[in-house]
């Protein structure tokens, strides 16, 4: 099947000029004609626009420069190449047209061979631009597909690692989903707070939410007789249990050594794993950090983790009511938890309860 001939629009107010150009171009191209700039704009904006416009400069009412400016100002016509036709042969007029976006400049009286050669060049250039645009579109779609695939693989990897800890401690159930949602909600609530706005950007919150499930990854290193003990831990056992924070951050740090460049969410995951048991008053573990020395990520996870632990049954305790857990969190304001984080939690307590119910465990 032969290629469809390119469509060329000739715009000239003089019928004799239209006739000459139409006779020259018709054997090779599909030719349209317009005798005014206004009609040119109508045809150019039609569902089947021309692939090239030959535009006379000297026309009444709306001259070629005005028409060209209008073509370039519209999104649906700005990419159509325009060749200006004029009897004015001075360099100033040529520079003006080219500066406004004309693809070429042809002086009348026309030379048929020159016109045909320049038209062919412009059509080939347009075809090349369109091919390149299509290839760029294909490439962009492929990059987007691969990024989405890599993102999914990363999320699955994170969830799989997080479930390693959950398998060791089966009563945690949907703890991963709940704490991830609590942290995301807290970060969003504090995003405009003066103390947190510089840190809690949308990008940071996305990374924080992604890394939150790894907060207890270190529990895989705690012996079963301690991790699953149904009663209170001895002082020695508690000391071993506390090592899960550093075990988690150490494991993530070892993983970082195997990659060529830093991964942002792993840096946050390491913070959360290592310091989410620190307390605002400096009496937590493993490093006894206090106040703002505790990373924001760990401060948010601290409240999320404690709230969820309180409302869930464990081998060593019964579940508390939402209200009982809320009261304990409130009592920990300024001692266990960052006061502003507690305030956000209390003000939007109902939303945290909604998350807990949405991802409640099945017993």
Mean pLDDT of 89-115: 81
How many Å apart are CA 197 and CA 190, to the nearest integer? 7
Is the pLDDT at 1 greater than 50? The verdict is no
Residue 307: which of 317, 297, 321 has the closest Cα? 321
How many Å apart are CA 190 and CA 296, to the nearest integer? 11
Is the pLDDT at 257 greater than 90? The verdict is no
* Three-state SS at 105: strand
DSSP letters spanning 3-71: PPPPEEEEE-S-HHHHHHHHHHHTTTSEEEEESSHHHHHHHHTSSS--SEEEEES--SSS-HHHHHHHH
Identify the pLDDT of residue 217. 87
User: According to CATH, where is 1.10.3210.10 located in the chain?
Assistant: 169-358
The Cα angle at residue 266 between residues 153 and 213, in degrees rounded to 5: 70
Mean pLDDT of 72-96: 83
Q: Which CATH number fits domain 7-138: 3.10.330.10, 3.40.50.2300, 3.20.20.140, 2.170.190.11?
A: 3.40.50.2300
How many Å apart are CA 73 and CA 91, to the nearest integer? 25
Identify the pLDDT of residue 237. 94
The single residue listed with the structure tokens 């080219």 is 98
pLDDT in tens, 192-208: 999 999 999 999 999 99
Phi and psi, residue 20, nearest 5°: -60, -45
Q: What is the distance of C-alpha 170 from the center of its chain?
A: 35
Mean pLDDT of 226-249: 92
Residue 3: which of 28, 24, 26, 23 has the closest Cα? 28
The percentage of the chain sitting over the pLDDT mark of 70, rounded to a whole number, equals: 90
Is the pLDDT at 177 greater than 50? The verdict is yes
Residue 193 DSSP code: S
Q: Which two tokens stand for residue 77?
A: 């016509």
Phi and psi, residue 76, nearest 5°: -80, -10
Is the pLDDT at 259 greater than 80? The verdict is no
- Name the residue with higher pLDDT: 41 or 137: 41
Q: Are 168 and 338 in contact (CB under 8 A)?
A: no
pLDDT in tens, 25-53: 999 999 999 999 999 999 999 999 999 99
Residue 183: which of 14, 263, 296, 39 has the closest Cα? 296
Residue 80: which of 59, 101, 108, 106 has the closest Cα? 101
Q: Which residues contact 256 (CB under 8 A, 6 or more apart)?
A: 262, 263, 266, 270
Is the pLDDT at 94 greater than 50? The verdict is yes
Identify the pLDDT of residue 289. 97
Mean pLDDT of 7-33: 93
Please give the C-alpha separations between residue 322 and each of 1, 63, 174, 329, in angstroms, as whole numbers: 73, 75, 16, 11
Identify the pLDDT of residue 305. 95
Q: Are 249 and 274 in contact (CB under 8 A)?
A: yes
- Name the residue with higher pLDDT: 286 or 86: 286
The Cα angle at residue 86 between residues 84 and 92, in degrees rounded to 5: 85
Question: Does the predicted model carry a pTM greater than 0.95?
Answer: no
Identify the pLDDT of residue 151. 67
Please give the C-alpha separations between residue 74 and each of 44, 102, 131, in angstroms, as whole numbers: 10, 15, 22
Topology of domain 169-358, per CATH?
Answer: Hypothetical protein af1432 (1.10.3210)
Mean pLDDT of 237-245: 95
130-139, 288-297, 335-344: the lowest-pLDDT one = 130-139
Please give the C-alpha separations between residue 79 and each of 30, 50, 53, in angstroms, as whole numbers: 19, 11, 11
Residue 353: which of 133, 182, 134 has the closest Cα? 182
The Cα angle at residue 23 between residues 22 and 29, in degrees rounded to 5: 60
Omega before 109 within 30 of 0, i.e. cis: yes
The percentage of the chain sitting over the pLDDT mark of 90, rounded to a whole number, equals: 60
Q: Are 211 and 266 in contact (CB under 8 A)?
A: yes
């Amino acid at each position: 099947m032969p290629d469809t001939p390119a469509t060329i629009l000739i715009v000239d107010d003089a019928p004799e000029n239209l006739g000459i150009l139409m006779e020259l171009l018709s054997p090779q191209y599909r030719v349209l004609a317009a005798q005014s700039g206004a009609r040119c704009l109508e045809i150019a904006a039609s569902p089947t626009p021309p692939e090239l416009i030959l535009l006379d400069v000297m026309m009444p009412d709306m001259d070629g420069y005005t028409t060209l400016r209008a073509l370039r100002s519209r999104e649906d016509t700005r990419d159509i190449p325009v060749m200006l036709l004029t009897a004015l042969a001075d360099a100033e007029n040529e520079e003006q047209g080219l500066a406004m976006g004309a693809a070429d400049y042809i002086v009348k009286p026309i030379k048929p061979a020159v016109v045909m050669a320049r038209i062919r060049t412009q059509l080939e250039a347009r075809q090349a631009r369109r091919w390149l645009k299509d290839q760029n579109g294909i490439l962009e779609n492929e990059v987007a597909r691969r990024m989405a695939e890599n993102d999914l693989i990363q999320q699955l990897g994170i969830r799989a690692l997080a479930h390693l800890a959950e398998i060791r401690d089966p009563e945690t159930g949907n703890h991963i989903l709940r704490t991830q949602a609590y942290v995301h909600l807290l970060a969003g609530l504090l995003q405009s707070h003066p103390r947190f706005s510089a840190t809690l950007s949308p990008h940071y919150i996305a990374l924080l939410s992604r890394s939150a499930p790894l907060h207890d990854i270190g529990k895989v290193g705690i012996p079963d007789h301690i991790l699953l003990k149904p009663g209170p831990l001895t002082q020695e056992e508690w000391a071993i249990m506390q090592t899960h924070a550093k075990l988690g951050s150490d494991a993530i740090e070892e993983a970082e050594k195997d990659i060529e460049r830093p991964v942002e969410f792993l840096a946050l995951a390491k913070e959360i794993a290592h310091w989410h048991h620190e307390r605002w008053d400096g009496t937590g573990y493993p490093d006894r950090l206090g106040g703002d020395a505790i990373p924001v990520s760990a401060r948010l996870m601290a409240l999320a983790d404690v709230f969820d632990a309180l409302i869930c049954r464990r081998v060593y305790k019964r579940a508390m009511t939402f209200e009982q857990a809320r009261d304990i969190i409130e009592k920990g304001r300024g001692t266990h938890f960052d006061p502003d984080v507690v305030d956000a939690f209390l003000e939007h307590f109902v939303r945290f309860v909604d998350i807990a119910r949405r991802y409640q465990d099945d017993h």
